Structures are given as structure tokens and as C-alpha cells.
Amino acid sequence: MVSISDVAEDAGVSASTVSYVLSGKRSISADTQRRVEASIRRLNYHPHAGARALASSRTNVLALVMPLRTDIHMPAMMRFVTSVVTTARRHDYDVLLLTSDEGPAGLRRVANSAMADAFLVMEVQSDDPRIPVLRELSRPSVLIGVPDDPGELPCVDLDFAAAAKRCVAELADAGHTDIGLIGSPPVVYERGTSFAGRFLRGFQEATRGLNAVMRSCAPDYEAVGRCLDELFAENPEVTGLVVHNEAALGSVLAELRNRGRHMPDEISLVAVGQDTAAHREVPLTTVPLPTEDMVRIAVELAMRALQGSSTPETRLLTPQISPGKSVAPRR
């Protein structure tokens, strides 16, 4: 391994000068700078991460805590994960991947063994058991999702209440008065996953004065069929559908077709999520999850917390609608 003293020797300077060239923490003469940089390149020098962490108490590693549940929509998660890696790299950070299944002990282990400088936590629930643990850690963390009581922890999320309102408005504006919601699976509400509850409350508020009906829906084919049957049984007049359940979306579309409800002229639909909105028979009107923006903000909040200039804040992103052809005026 090439070490800093190899570079120093090669460039004819001291090790500390090499270090300062790398960090830019003190001014260096143009000539020295040039020689050191040349040596670094020539020797293909990379500072030893462990040595650096030991000396500086900085790892330049972000720990990403992902849920290990299987009832989560995989493509959405994967987008988050890749986005975190590419965003972190822009700040010269690498990403250590943790699953929640090691529990609180895993978080403590990584924090106390100085493997990461900060934590990014995905899929935060209303009453997330990880929150008290994160709070007592010696390192900052940023929540993706909003718990009931974030305390001092910064949070980022889509404003799901506003998203629900946006979906309903899109349908109401087209004249629909009888609107159904295909929501997340029951287990998601039971667990108190924060975004599901916030979306539901937004939906309920937005449909005041309209005829609203809601079904929580597991993603499997049979459950989706049952949900639709029940929903239309409760209110046969439903002509507008909001789907907040990416995993079930494919089955919902198939089952509507099976039931002969043609989209958009017989049933209008707005979906939350984006996965293959463009790849459908009828391009969907969607409220996409702004993954990139959420991750960018989350990483920025983490960087700010690491600089010590952090004021805890909850950032709710305003939902945007992406128009497709799945909403038509009510006939």
C-alpha cells in the first residue's frame, strides 16, 4: 500500500504538507501543490480510510438503514437506495447499508465503532421503535418519513396529505363526485406507517362533501378483486379512483379491465407512485414520489448536521401531478 510518507518522499515534502494539500486546510505554495499532486497521481495514492477516521474522527461514510420487511414496494426502495449512493458520492461520502433487523444493537454497533458519521433512516413509522435509539446515539440521523414525534430529528417526506388532496382535486375537477381510494395493505396501517395514515387523512378531508369510499388492499390478485368488489358494492356510482398502493396497481388495472370498466371513460384513475406509469395501456395520471429530491434533501440535512449547523426541521415536499390519460370528465 502506498502511504502518505511515500508521497511525501516522492514530492520532497513532509507528510503533513501532503495531508494539507489533500484537505486544503492551509495555504500551500503553487509549486509544492503541483509537485504533491503529481506524486499522488504517479503513485496512485489513496489515503487509508481507517487511519484517516482514527486521526480525524470522520469516516466520510453514511449509514443507510433500510427496512427488512417484505411488504414494501421493492422498486421504490431500490430507487431510494441507488439515489442515496449517487447523492452521497457527490458529497464525497460512501454508503454503508444496514437492515433494521439487527435492531437497536446494530445501530449502536455502527455508531459506537465509528463506522459511519451519520444515519439515514428509510420507511419511518409513526411510532418507530428506532427513534429513541437514534436519539441517544452520538451521531446525527435524518429520517425519511415523518413519525408522530420526531423530536430533534430532521425529517424529509412527500406531503402525503397534500398528495391525497391533489389526487382528489384532479378527479373532482373532472366532475367526479363519487370517489374511491385503494389504499395500502392493512398491515401498513396497522403498523402505523406514517405516510399511509397521512394520505388517508388528506383523502378524508378532501372528499368532504363528496361521496368517498376507501379500501385497504393487500397486493395479491385475489385481495385486489375483493377490494374492488366491496368498493363498488358500497357505492356503485364510483367513477373516480385514487390508488395509493404501487404493488397492487397492476392488479387493479387488470381487474378493472376484467370487470369491463374501461379507463378513462367509465372509470378515471389517479395513482401515487411512478413506477411504470408510462408503460401502461393507458398512460396514468400520477402523483410521483419525488425520490431524488427527498434523497437530495436528506443527504443535505445530514451534511449540515455533521457541520454542526443543524436546526432540526421537517421538510414536506409539495406533490406535483404528472398528467396522463387516465382521467376523463364524468359522463
- x-or-dash string of contact with DNA, 24-43, rule CB under 7 A: -xxxxx-xx-----------
Residues 78-107 that bind its own copies (CB under 8 A): 78-79, 81-82, 85-86, 89, 94-99, 101-102
The item of DNA, its own copies, none sharing an interface with residue 19, based on CB under 5 to 8 Å by kind, is DNA
C-alpha 308 chain-centroid distance:
24
Segment contacting its own copies by CB under 8 A, of 29-37, 108-116, 159-167, 308-316? 108-116
Residues 276-295 that bind its own copies (CB under 8 A): 276, 278-281
Tell me the one-letter amino acid at 246: E
Among 34, 38, 41, 51, binds DNA (CB under 7 A): 51
Q: Does 187 bind its own copies (CB under 8 A)?
A: no
Q: Does 3 bind DNA (CB under 7 A)?
A: yes
The sign of the CA dihedral 8, 11, 14, 20 is negative
Least separation in angstroms between residue 135's CB and DNA is 23
Contact 259, 225 (CB under 8 A): no
As a whole number of angstroms, the longest Cα–Cα distance in the chain is: 84
Q: What does the block give as the cell for 14?
A: 513532509
The item of its own copies, DNA, none sharing an interface with residue 174, based on CB under 5 to 8 Å by kind, is none
Report the residue number, 27 or 113, with the smaller CB distance to its own copies. Answer: 113
Contact 124, 194 (CB under 8 A): yes
Residues in CB range of 41: below 8 A, 6 or more apart: none
Query: Angle 124-130-120 (CA atoms, 0-180°, nearest 5)?
Result: 60
Contact 105, 162 (CB under 8 A): no
Residues listed for the chain: 331
Name the site residues for its own copies (rule: CB under 8 A). Answer: 1-2, 44-54, 59, 61, 64, 66, 68, 74-75, 77-79, 81-82, 85-86, 89, 94-99, 101-102, 108-110, 112-115, 138, 219-221, 250-251, 253-254, 257-258, 276, 278-281
